[in-house]
Amino acid sequence: MPKAKPLKKKRKTKKIKRSRPRLGLYLLAGLTTVLIMWALIREPMPAPQDLEKLVVQEITERTAKRETKKKQEKSELAVQEKAPTKVTRRTDTILDEATVAQPPEVKTPAVVKPKTGETELDLVVRGASEKLGVPQNNLRRRKQDNLVQYSIPIDRSQMDLTYANMIFKGEMENAGAKLIKGMDTRSRQTLLFAREGITERYELELRHDSSVYKDSQVQKTITIVVDDFGAIGGKLLDGFFELDKEIVFAIFPEEANSISTMQRATAQGRDTIIHVPMEPIGYPRVNPGKNAILVQHKEDRIEKQLSGFINKMPDCIGINNHMGSLATTDPDVMQVVMNTLKRHDKVFLDSRTTNVSVAYQTAQKSHIRAFRNDLFLDSPNISQSTMEAKINQIIQLANNRQHIIAISHCHNQEKLDYLKSLVNRLKKAGFTLVPLSGIGERNLPEIL
């Protein structure tokens, strides 16, 4: 037993000796780490929060780059796949897909070259002329030395010379030409242009000449309504029936010749409307006639009265108001009138006996086919000076609107003669008569 104790001590000593080298290695590694850290912190480093921001920024930028790259790759792939898809759809025989979903094919425009002896500015002049509707065979070109002269006719009914001047000047300047000078007289305007690189100068003479536009002029149309039929008869009525059948008759609903006049007009193919008496300003001193629609009437009475007129005169396509300078300003009264007309499928013509009438607007809101009078032909009288003034007024109106409506009256032979003469004058001025039922059925392009 005493001999075993020393052996245990020796084993313990050896174990201790083996652990010392390992501790030294740990110390050496720790010292090396400290030195490395000291070397690193010699340069200033960002604060922890700044370092975090930099890391986030770097990640964001890299992510954005990856997304951009993916989008570019998808876009390139779509472009590559787009062409074959179009070809496949064009060969499809299903018309609704080919015509509706198929985008229009883009064609490369043909390059137009100047004719022999011409320059690019000649193409500009012809192009601008075509835009303005100038017949190309009426475009006159003449060249003398280094001056090219164009004579260009302009339709007076379509535009003035100043407007045409602006178009040509703009087109020439877009082509690089400069305006050297311009001359303006009462009947024509002349523009002189030059462009660097072109030896010729270009002189454009713009002049009014409507004769070359006879075949292409916009047709001027007018509807004429003659009021107050129903009481007259005999030769006077016969005389009015000799007027163009496009002229419309407005007939009082309860006169001796009301029904017969309507039937005769229908047989002739002429439009008729009921001339409905309505309350004027100044009533009862100013009397609109029997069974007039008054603003004091209740809704059921107005509806019953108007429906009675329509039932008695079923051939009439609608109504217009006789007098009514007060009734046509009352929205409630007009709404009852329009509701009744809508039930009977009739049209409405606002005679416009007052400038503050709400009748036409009420008809439009009620979705009724409606029209407005533009002028009275025989007011204030039927003198020659009045006729001249009315014709001039109609011509002026025709410059700004597609169609004109005018009203006259049938009271006596003098008014019939006046109307005949006025109609002949309008026809010579280029106007075409259109019945009320024909308005809107003609293709009337707007005047510039």
- Write down the pLDDT at residue 35: 66
CATH number of this structure's domain 220-438 = 3.20.20.370
Domain boundaries, the chain: 120-213, 220-438
User: Is the model's pLDDT at 128 over the cut of 60?
Assistant: yes
How far, in Å, CA of 367 to CA of 348, rounded? 11
Q: Higher pLDDT residue, 194 or 65?
A: 194
Dihedral of the CA atoms 314, 317, 322, 327 (nearest 10)? 100
How far, in Å, CA of 159 to CA of 157, rounded? 6
Contact residues for 349 (Cβ-Cβ < 8 A; gap 6+): 225, 250, 273, 318, 319, 320, 370, 371, 372, 373, 405, 436
The residue type at 381? N
The token pair that represents 361 in the structure block: 């607007």
Task: Tell me the helix, strand and coil percentages in the chain, rounded to 5.
Answer: 45, 20, 35
* Average pLDDT for 76-94: 41
First to last CA, the chain: 135
Tokens 């009914």 -> residue: 157
Indicate the pLDDT class of residue 60, thresholds 50, 70 and 90: low
The token pair that represents 224 in the structure block: 């004429």
How far, in Å, CA of 160 to CA of 74, rounded? 56
Given a contact cutoff of 8 angstroms between Cβ atoms, the answer to whether 403 and 222 are in contact is yes
The residue type at 333? V
Distance, CA of 202 to chain centre = 36
Rg (CA), the chain: 46
How far, in Å, CA of 174 to CA of 195, rounded? 11
Q: Higher pLDDT residue, 102 or 237?
A: 237
Q: What architecture does CATH give domain 120-213? A: 2-Layer Sandwich (3.30)
Q: Which helix (H) or strand (E) holds 220?
A: strand 220-229
The residue type at 143? K
Q: Among 53-67, 93-107, 112-126, 168-182, where is mean pLDDT lowest?
A: 93-107
Mapped onto helix, strand or coil, the DSSP state of residue 213 is: helix
How far, in Å, CA of 371 to CA of 433, rounded? 16
Is it true that the peptide bond before 435 is cis, omega within 30 degrees of 0? no
- Write down the pLDDT at residue 75: 60
The residue type at 390? K
User: Is the model's pLDDT at 101 over the cut of 70?
Assistant: no
User: Is the model's pLDDT at 155 over the cut of 90?
Assistant: no
Q: What is the pTM of this model?
A: 0.54
